């Protein structure tokens, strides 16, 4: 019996006990403390069931407007997703393709942590191949693939261009210009290469940096217009009034999820699509999977 079945059984059993109490079942003579414990167990079961069955499959689309003089009209739409953590069994792959294609992006970017299991590479590449973008699709590796599967061909034949210390200049139909740079977060040579390119670049052109994690933001703040990252999963499990419990970022909760303005650079930390791999429970709570849309315009 899987963890999900245990949670469901616990939730249903506690729900039944509480229902009997509410409906005046005379056999249920408990103290207030025991009833309180039943109620607490019911709530825990409900939250766990939500975290296991509902929230991991419920993608949220967030739209961020960015106004800048660096982009000519009518602007550009960038769609960002991250941390797909594909498992052998598909979860959000087909839904993600449908949502992104319906948004009609000019540029699509992915910021790493592609797989939980190398056997899921077919799912991952099929998903990437089906995503459509008018001007280009770009990716960087996450710490997972960079350290565990550095030689694996994750992006070949998918239409995604891997940016490892490289910069690409994208030009829109109406002359809009977007510079996209990407680093491999685990390779200092990749970060050095991007820093050199930024120094040599034109600061009057809108520049986006892709980096798997937010940990390099304070190094690049003020040098790029938009810094897109993932990695934290928004904690994957968050608490009311507190937010992420664990972020695996060197900054802790400082850049746990969402939008931040850091010395003139807009940092956005996407909560990702999938969930942490290995033996970690596949749950999300108050940290829905996310696709982010950036409408960059004058």
List residues near Fe ion by CB under 5 A: 83, 113
Q: Whole-number minimum distance, CB 79 to Fe ion, in Å?
A: 19
Rounded to the nearest whole angstrom, what is the least distance from the CB of residue 160 to Fe ion in the complex?
Answer: 17
In terms of CB distance, is 71 or 185 closer to Fe ion? 185
Phi first, then psi, for residue 242 (nearest 5°) are -130, -40
Closest CA to 268 of 297, 292, 238: 292
Is residue 160 within 8 A of residue 124, CB to CB? The reply is no
For the bound state, the minimum distance from the C-beta of residue 8 to Fe ion, rounded and expressed in Å, comes to 27
Cβ atoms of 65 and 297 closer than 8 Å:
yes
Name the minimum Å distance from CB 239 to Fe ion: 20
Strands in 226-229's sheet, in edge-to-edge order, are 166-171, 177-182, 206-210, 226-229, 265-269, 258-262
Could you tell me the smallest distance in angstroms from the CB atom of residue 181 to Fe ion? 21
Residue nearest to Fe ion (CB): 113
Largest CA distance in the chain: 80
165 vs 272 by CB, closer to Fe ion: 272
Q: Which is nearer to Fe ion, 225 or 276 (CB)?
A: 276
- Smaller CB distance to Fe ion: residue 223 or 236? 236
For Fe ion, the closer of residues 113 and 145 by Cβ is 113
Closer to Fe ion by CB, 190 or 236: give it: 236
* Residue 248 C-beta: closest distance to Fe ion, Å: 8
Extended strands (E) in the chain: 60-67, 76-81, 107-110, 136-139, 160-162, 166-171, 177-182, 206-210, 226-229, 238-239, 243-244, 258-262, 265-269, 290-297
């Amino acid at each position: 019996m899987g963890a999900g079945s245990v949670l469901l059984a616990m939730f249903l059993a506690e729900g039944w006990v509480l229902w009997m109490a509410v409906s005046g079942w005379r056999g249920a003579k408990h103290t207030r403390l025991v009833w309180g414990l039943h109620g607490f167990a019911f709530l825990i079961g409900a939250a766990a069931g939500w975290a296991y069955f509902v929230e991991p499959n419920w993608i949220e689309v967030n739209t961020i407007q960015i106004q800048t003089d660096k982009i000519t009209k009518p602007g550009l739409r960038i769609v960002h997703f991250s941390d797909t953590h594909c498992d052998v069994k598909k979860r959000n792959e087909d839904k993600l393709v449908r949502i992104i294609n319906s948004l009609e992006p000019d540029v699509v970017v992915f910021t790493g942590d592609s797989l939980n299991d190398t056997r899921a590479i077919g799912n991952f590449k099929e998903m990437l191949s089906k995503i459509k973008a008018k001007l280009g699709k770009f990716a960087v590796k996450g710490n997972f693939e960079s350290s565990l599967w550095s030689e694996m061909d994750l992006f070949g034949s998918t239409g995604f261009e891997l940016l490892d210390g490289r910069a690409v200049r994208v030009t829109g139909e109406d002359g809009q210009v977007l510079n996209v740079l990407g680093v491999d977060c685990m390779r200092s040579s990749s970060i050095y290469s991007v820093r050199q390119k930024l120094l040599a670049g034109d600061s009057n052109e809108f520049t986006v940096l892709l980096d798997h994690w937010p940990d390099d933001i304070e190094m690049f703040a003020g040098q790029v217009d938009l810094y897109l990252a993932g990695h934290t999963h928004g904690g994957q499990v968050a608490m009311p009034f507190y937010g992420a419990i664990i972020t695996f970022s060197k900054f802790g909760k400082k850049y746990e999820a969402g939008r931040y303005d850091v010395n003139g650079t807009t940092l956005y930390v996407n909560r990702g699509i999938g969930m942490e791999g290995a033996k970690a429970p596949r749950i999300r709570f108050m940290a829905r999977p996310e696709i982010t849309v950036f409408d960059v315009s004058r």
